Structure formats: C-alpha cells, structure tokens
Structure 1
Amino acid sequence: MKRILALCLFMVALGVTAQVSANRFFYELTYRPGVEVDSLHKTMTILDVTKDKSLYRDFLMVSQDSLLEVEMEKMRKSGTFKDLSKMFKTPKFSYKITKTYPSMDIRYTDQILQDVVGYEEKLKLDWKIQEEKSMIGEYSAQKATTQFGGRSWTAWFSTELPMPDGPYKFHGLPGLIVKISDSENHYSWELKGNKPVADFQEISYSEKMQKEFGGGRGETLMVERKRFEQMYEAYRKDPFGSIRSQLAQVPHDAKMPDGTSVAQMLKNQEEQLKKFLNENNNSIERSAPAKTKK
C-alpha cells in the first residue's frame, strides 16, 4: 500500500493534478567530512521532483524558512535589528544540483562567500546492473555499480519509483536510486520517505533574503567547471580573499545596530568559515569528472 501511495505521489508531481507542483524525496546522508576524520556525520538532504526537472539540496536550506520569515516580519514591524544568525543552523552542504528532464543535463551551483557560482555539465555514468535484489526500506530494489569521482559506487534502484534519478548527481538507472554508497563508506544516501509539496519554491526564503540584504552578485555566475574549481580552491585557502580590500575600509569603531563590533563580528565569521572548510575537505568527487555524453 505504501509503495502504491509513493507511485501516486510521483504521478501527481508530474502534473496529473495542478494542486501539487513537486514530490519531495528525503535522503539521509551519512558521510565522513574530513580525510583525517574517523567519525561519520548524518544530515538530511532532499530531492524535489517536478515534471521538468529535479533539485537536490541540503534540507536545512528550506526547513528553517518558516521560522526565518516570522522573525523577519517581527523585525520589520518593530523596526529593531536582531542577529538572526545565532538562531539558525548552517547547512552542511551549500551546493544545489538541478537535473533537467529528460536530458538529465546537470547544473551545479554553490555559495562562494557572497556570490553564487556554478557550472553545467553532461554526465554519462557507466552503470553495471547486477542480478542481486533486496528490500531497501519499503521498496524492492536491484543492485548496480559504477565508477564516479574517483570512487567505486554501489547503488540500489527501484522500478516501483519509475524515475531515472537519485541524490547528488547520480542518475541513469531504470528506477529511482533508493540507496547508494561508495566502497569506503565515506558517503552513503538512503531514501527515508517522500511527500508532495504544494508550495514548492526553487529558491528558499533565506536565499531571497540573502540576495536582498547580503550585498552579493544577485545573479548566479556561470563558468566552466575548471574555472569553478579554481575559484573554489582559492576560496578554501582564503575565504575572505575576494572582499579583503573592502574589509580594510570598514572603520575600526563601526558597530552593528545591536552594538556588536563589526570588526569583531567579521573576524569571528572568518575564523568559523576557515575552521569549517578545513574540517570538511573530503570531497564526494576527488578526481576528474565522469565522461561527458556524446
């Protein structure tokens, strides 16, 4: 019964009824954040499926929207400033991945300090479908393997969910990927549930606020993948490097509306960002990208 319901939800998301614009699949991601870190971390990620494309991202990007919207409205009405950064958790993964249907062309975007930068690519994953089958959660699934990003991957896909899609960039199997992990167990995704989303928003409320008040580029800067990797590497080495000259112009005695020293706030933010980037250096893709489609 649950599998039938899941299929019905999928059909709804594909436009059988206009009341639902997306179907949200919840994937629990278990991962090893750093190459020198032994412990495994967990976070919830989502794959939002519409009739035209899918969007994969960290669930925290959207789960805190309602609370943020309420707090912003309180600030507008009272005319007072409140540092909301202390109330909200920062997503472990800031990138978003869009796959366009039916071509499955990929658009990858990420936050590089104040700017959103991205690239587009066409990936062809060379899947080897095995005879082995197993129950993964509620779904009857079949095994498949591939090589991607310098890692060996084992996936389990289910034709009960007839979509050639999955978490992150994974796609191309005759059914939704319900579980996938690399041979070293550094990264593992498992489907934990799904639900229809009637008010699907590709851009979260927090992202809209960032564009309005953050002083960033506003529009996404699309570059070649090689250029993106160069920009991200420079960002890892010196997170505030692109705005260093601007920071030098901030008066030493400048204060935030709540009385906090601007200089100290920026220093704290830079230190926290450096620490985060240093501790999260175990990339999913640690080699050249997979073959492009011909």
Structure 2
Amino acid sequence: MKKTFQILFIFLFAVINAQNTANRFFYELTYKPNKDSAKLEKEMMALDIDQNKSVYQSYELIGLDSLANVMVTESLKTGNMADVNRIGGKKQSKFLHRIFKTHPVQEIVYNDQILMDYYSYRENPNLIWKISDEKQKIGAYNTQKATTDFGGRKWTAWFTTEIPFQDGPYKFYGLPGLIVKIEDDGKNYSWELKGNRKIDHIKDTLYMEGFIKQSGLSSSKEIPKEKFLEKYEQYKKDPLASMRQLLSQLPAGVDLPDNSITEKMREAEKKMKEELAKNNNSIEIQEKINKRK
C-alpha cells in the first residue's frame, strides 16, 4: 500500500510539474525603424506559451529585468548602492511592450511603458487568414503559407502543424499551428523562429515593473486603445512632462542643489526626441495616430 501511494505521489507531482512548465520560442525580429531609411535592425524576441496563455516580449528585456533583480537583491543585502553601469553596459531593448493572450484567444492584452508609467489595453485583432496550398521547409519545420491584412499592412505567414500551438509573435494567432515566419509585404517587419526551450513558468509581471509600482514612483492603468495612442503621441511631443510634474510637487523650501539637474533634463529630452523621431515606422500604421512599436 505504501509503495502504491509513493507511485501515485510521483505521478501527481509529474503531472503538476508538467502543467506548470512552459515553452519559450525565440524569434529573430528584423525591422526597419525609420520609414525613410533602408537600414535594418535586429532584436531577439520571446514567445512564452503554456496550456492556458502566452506572453510575447523582447528577450533583451527579460535579460535586463533578470539583471535588475540580482542588482536590487544584492543592494538590499549589502546596503550598498547598486552599480548602474552594469545595466548601462548591456544592450537596451527598443521594445518595452508585452502582449498577453489567453487560450483560446478571444482578445489580447497589450501592456507598455511610457517613461515610468505602465498602460495596457484590450483588443480583438480579428485576424482573417487565407490559407494557401503553398508549402516550404523553414529551418527544421515543414510550413504552409497564409496571408492576412492587419494594422494597415499585408502579412504573409508560414505556420507549422508540427508544433500544436495556434499562436505566433506579436499580436498574430489563429492558424492551425505555430507561426514559424511572418513578414509584411514591404519587409518593414519580419519575425523568424530560431529555437525554443522549456522554462519553469510564465511571468505575468516583470521584476522591475512590480518593484517600481511598489515604490509608488509609477502608476499602472488599463485604458482604451485610443487613449493609449493619445498618451504616446503626447509623450513623443513632451517626453519628460511627467518628470517635470514630479519635480514641481517637491515641498516648498526644497531647493535643487544646482542647475545641473535642469540642464541634464534638457539634454535627455533632446536625445529622447531625436530617438523618437528616428523610430517613425510603427508595426501598425492604419490609425491616424501612429502606434508605438
């Protein structure tokens, strides 16, 4: 009887453990950040999938968040200020958004950071796919062609039924298998599957997002998509507006040590505006207000 209980316990543990694990699919994103330039850039993205949901995000963002977790933990243990140069020396992600899908997908949740604040919106992309008989081998997978219109662009996808997840990078989903490659007809954005591995579980909230929220330095709001687009447009025009608002709330009689902070803010704002102006080729272009990548 004791042996039977041991076998049952091992079986239940294996089942629970299997349910908690997830698959991480790595997509190389090749994109054109500036619509007036032919220059292409690349970034590795990750799509984490388990039985119930998926999360799409930058793999660079995952790495930076993990490093920030280590640094803050070390700082709290030792009482010493963290060496911010450790993060400054790492490649910074150009994509701060995270996209959540609950299976079966009825809607997606898009979460993004604008300066210190986090915003999210819900959306049903309502993707209508046209599946072709055309097939080709991409990497190790036998794939089939499908096309759709989304975000003001025409997209061609190649999916495989060898991986039974009806999902894909960014907001794409709904084909009878995992999307291995997808790109728009102008080759502004192209994702291609490069590998996968098991992970323990999907993180709904990144460490730094939770840490910043707990500190009270930022807010987190779910708003309609149109409001998000308006907020991002305002951010592009005045990137440090919220920072100036925080400084204006300092108690009366508190003086900044010198003018260097104001001067540094001006320099930072100039660089931010220049960078935002260069990144003018959003993934989705159908709205009058351009969306953030």
TM-score of the superposition, structure 1-length normalised?
0.83
Structure 2 CA distance for aligned equivalents of residues 121 and 266 of structure 1: 35
SS in 1 for 2:233: helix
- Check conservation: 1:252, 1:263, Cα contact below 8 A: no
Structure possessing the higher radius of gyration over alpha carbons: 2
Write out the 4+ residue segments of structure 1 that deviate beyond 6 Å after TM superposition: none
Structure 1 CA distance for aligned equivalents of residues 174 and 211 of structure 2: 35
Cα distance, 1:163 vs structure 2 = 1.4
Aligned pairs for 1:1-294 (under 5 A) are 17-19=16-18, 20-82=20-82, 84=84, 85-213=87-215, 215-217=217-219, 220-248=220-248, 251-253=255-257, 262-288=261-287
Structure 1 CA distance for aligned equivalents of residues 109 and 243 of structure 2: 26
Cα distance, 1:282 vs structure 2 = 0.5
Taking a change above 3 Å as real, the CA distance of residues 157 and 240 of structure 1, as seen in their structure-2 partners, is same
Cα distance, 1:164 vs structure 2 = 1.3
Taking a change above 3 Å as real, the CA distance of residues 203 and 269 of structure 1, as seen in their structure-2 partners, is farther
Structure 2 CA distance for aligned equivalents of residues 89 and 206 of structure 1: 17
- Check conservation: 2:127, 2:148, Cα contact below 8 A: yes
Aligned to 1:8: none
Identity over aligned residues, as a percent? 44
Taking a change above 3 Å as real, the CA distance of residues 230 and 286 of structure 1, as seen in their structure-2 partners, is same
Cα distance, 1:138 vs structure 2 = 0.6
Structure 2 CA distance for aligned equivalents of residues 264 and 212 of structure 1: 29
Quick one: which amino acid aligns to residue 235 of structure 1?
Y
Gaps of 5+ in 2: 1-13, 289-293
Deviates further, 265-274 or 220-229: 265-274
Deviates further, 221-230 or 60-69: 60-69
Aligned residues: 268
Deviates further, 275-284 or 206-215: 206-215
Taking a change above 3 Å as real, the CA distance of residues 18 and 166 of structure 1, as seen in their structure-2 partners, is same
Structure 2 CA distance for aligned equivalents of residues 79 and 263 of structure 1: 29
Cα distance, 1:266 vs structure 2 = 3.5
